Structure 1
Amino acid sequence: MIYLVEATTQFSDELEEFKQEIILYDADNEDQFAGCMGLRNTSTSEEWINICNLRKSVETCEQAGTKVPSTTYFAIREQDKKLVGVIDLRHHINHPILGTWGGHSGYSVRPSERGNGYAKEMLRLNIQNAKEKGIQKMLMTCDERNIASERTIISNGGVFEKNIEVDGCVMKRYWIETNR
């Protein structure tokens, strides 16, 4: 159905279409680029992909504006090579925001492709990536009003821990064992 590939310029045109679609359809959503940190603020897809590459290493991630290394993946539909989503994997959450409500991963599915199970499969594949990186438990969070994201997390083995309030928003915290 889909596979994950590290962010690469091979999909620059697809990424630009993805970005424009999110801007158009999710204009009222302040989390419209979850899992795509900084995509909205870059002038080209190549610029954002270069930032993603800097984020992968502890030695270079600060040049990309973060203290925690992460890997960004494109979700590519096998049949037509269309970019249907973006998901990231933070290599650790030893950070006040990530350890509280940011978690190990954020993701976005292209608006025209929502409702097809891509988020569920993206997270399933990313759990495998986490396991390969030695992450035994993944913290996943979602806004309490985001039922679709909550279902995605639960369907991938997420176990509810607690609700927390962040800037007036109630967030749900879930843990996923990667060795299940």
Structure 2
Amino acid sequence: MDIIELKAPSPEYAADIWQFRQEILEKDAGNKDQFAGCGGLENCTSAEEWIERMKLGESEENCKDGKVPSHMYLAVRKADNRIVGLIDLRHHINHPILGTWGGHSGYSVRPSERGHGYAKEMLRQLLPKAGALGIQKFLITCKVGNLASEKTILANGGVFDKIVDGNGEEIKRFWITIDPEK
């Protein structure tokens, strides 16, 4: 796997963000969860609009309609400066859905980049950022049967909690203990 780093969305990546969106539309067509972990990218009319929404969403005062503040990160491959994935960090889960089956984070790997371990590395790099926010018990979930996500979670120290109903689907809950020293 190539080296990646997590970066804040910025205009520098606007064209690649839009290509990322287009690739999901084409390769994941028909998948109702095709934009899970993408911060509403499917509802934006431009990458610039999405970047602005992500920036605004970092602050509690800008969060409305049951949203919680979060930071979205681009997982950028250093070798070619290409976005391989998106991952967000919700500042808290004091919310009925997030506290039950949404969790502290959602992520998506670009369809053409799946199967290379990027999700595992994205989550690994996100955990210290969660610790810096004071999160010591990190809830992360995946659908029952999503073996790729489950492997990602387990590889990062996830401990199975239970299966819950997530809007009509079975969702596995995992907790990751974050060492504040890291």
TM-score higher than 0.5 here?
Answer: yes
Query: Which of 105-114 and 34-43 deviates more?
Result: 34-43
Give 1:37-116 correspondences, 5 Å limit.
37-62=39-64, 65-116=65-116
* Contact kept in structure 1, 2:39 and 2:72, CA below 8 Å: no
Distance in 2 between residues matched to 1:106 and 1:44, nearest whole Å:
21
- Give the secondary-structure state (helix, strand or coil) at the position aligned to 2:104: coil
Amino acid at match of 2:44: T
* Contact kept in structure 2, 1:55 and 1:66, CA below 8 Å: no
Distance in 2 between residues matched to 1:124 and 1:66, nearest whole Å:
27
Distance in 2 between residues matched to 1:154 and 1:119, nearest whole Å:
12
Deviation at 1:34, TM superposition (A): 1.6
Residue 20 of structure 2 is aligned to residue 22 of structure 1? no
- Give the secondary-structure state (helix, strand or coil) at the position aligned to 2:60: coil
Deviation at 1:67, TM superposition (A): 3.0
Query: Which of 106-115 and 23-32 deviates more?
Result: 23-32
TM-score, scaled to structure 2 = 0.95
Distance in 2 between residues matched to 1:162 and 1:137, nearest whole Å:
15
Deviations 1:147-177 (A, max 9, x none): 1000000000000000112233110000001
For structure 2, list consecutive stretches of 5 or more residues without a partner in the other structure.
none
| Identity score, percent | 55
Deviations 1:119-139 (A, max 9, x none): 000000111110111110110
Amino acid at match of 1:9: P
* Contact kept in structure 1, 2:101 and 2:165, CA below 8 Å: no
Deviations 1:79-103 (A, max 9, x none): 1100000000000000000000000
Residue 71 of structure 2 is aligned to residue 33 of structure 1? no
4+ residue runs of structure 1 moved beyond 4 angstroms? Answer: none
User: How many corresponding residue pairs?
Assistant: 178
Query: Which of 97-106 and 6-15 deviates more?
Result: 6-15
* Contact kept in structure 2, 1:5 and 1:75, CA below 8 Å: yes
Distance in 2 between residues matched to 1:130 and 1:19, nearest whole Å:
26
Distance in 1 between residues matched to 2:34 and 2:178, nearest whole Å:
27
RMSD: 1.1
